Structure formats: C-alpha cells, structure tokens
Amino acid sequence: MTANPRDWYVLHVKPRTEKKVMQYLALGRGFRHLPVYIKVTKVQRRKVRRELPIFPGYVFAHLSPDERLAVLKSNLIMHPIPVPNPREMIHQLRQIAHAGRGTTEMRPANPFKEGDYVRVKYGPMHGTEGYVKREGAKATIVLNVEALGTAVEVSVSPEDVELVKDKRDD
C-alpha cells in the first residue's frame, strides 16, 4: 500500500473564514499556511492589534486527494487552485514569513504592472489618473497632459492607488 501523493493548493475560501479553515486543517488534514500581518487600529482611545491575512480569502495547503475531498466537503472552500510550481510558491511564502519576522511593517500591496491605468484614491493627488511606469524596482505614475502633448512622472504609494479600466479599451 503506497501513501497518497500530496499536492499544493491555494484554497479560495469563503469571506472571512481563513482562520476557521486553518483550524479545520489542523485536525490532521495536511500542512497549511496562512501568511498574516499585524494591523494596529485605535478603538475608543485604545490601540488594538489584530492579525489579518496578507492574502484575504486564500489559504495555502499541502493535501492528499483524500484530504482535499474532506476539505471540499467542509463547505468552507469556494475553489481549490492547484499550484503549478510549488517550489517557487514555497520560496515566496518563506520570503514573506522572513520579512514578517523583521522589524519592517508589512501589509498587502496592489500588484500593478507597467502600463496599467490607475487612479489615486487618497492624498493631495486624489482623483488623478495615469499609467504605471517601472524603472527597476521603482514604480511611478505617468500623468499625460494631452492638450500640451507632454507628460509628468509622479511617485505615489501603491496603497493609495486603484486599478481602473484601461483607457485603450474605450
């Protein structure tokens, strides 16, 4: 009798059930991982520290086919996503865990690509729209002044920006 091979899955879970899924998986149903970060908020003049998932709605799990079936029957999972390159994913999760142990502040970020059309949500440039431009690790937003046929580059924090429908699709 051979043991069932285990595969890596990204489990797309129902909203706000990540920790419940982790508890369910802890009952002997495979390895699981939920990268978290600490968010400090003020509630009635007190600082409250909360552990929140870095990837809301997702849990990483190493499951056999039987364990996968049991998890699906739990009614907590919306969709299991097979991982095509587990080594790369494990390496990335280890990097995130290592960063979380340091003193740096960690929080989710928007993965914008070069050429994405974005709008600034907060700050003095609220409502400004432009295209994302990358030079090495640095990303900027290019604001076009079409009437003058010129553009300006502005650095904006990724959490202050949201993706909008690309103007080229209009």
Average pLDDT per consecutive 10 residues, the chain (170 residues; last block may be shorter): 76 90 78 79 88 86 88 89 88 77 63 82 78 71 59 74 67
Which architecture does CATH list for 117-169? Roll (2.30)
Could you give the angle at the alpha carbon of 93 between the alpha carbons of 91 and 97, nearest 5°? Answer: 115
Angle of the 18-25 helix axis to the 65-73 helix axis, nearest 10: 130
- pLDDT given for residue 13 in this prediction: 92
Q: Identify whether the C-beta of residue 4 lies closer than 8 Å to the C-beta of residue 65.
A: yes
| Cα–Cα distance measured from residue 98 to residue 104, given in angstroms and rounded to the nearest whole number | 10
- pLDDT given for residue 147 in this prediction: 45
Q: Identify whether the C-beta of residue 12 lies closer than 8 Å to the C-beta of residue 57.
A: yes
- Alpha-carbon Rg for the chain, nearest whole angstrom, is 21
Helix (H, G, I), strand (E, B) or coil at 3: coil
What's this model's pTM, rounded to 2 decimal places? 0.62
Tell me the fold of 7-101: Alpha-Beta Plaits (3.30.70)
Q: Determine the straight-line distance between the first and last CA of the chain, rounded to whole angstroms.
A: 59
What are the structural domain ranges in the chain?
A: 7-101, 117-169
- pLDDT given for residue 46 in this prediction: 92
- pLDDT given for residue 144 in this prediction: 61
- pLDDT given for residue 1 in this prediction: 47
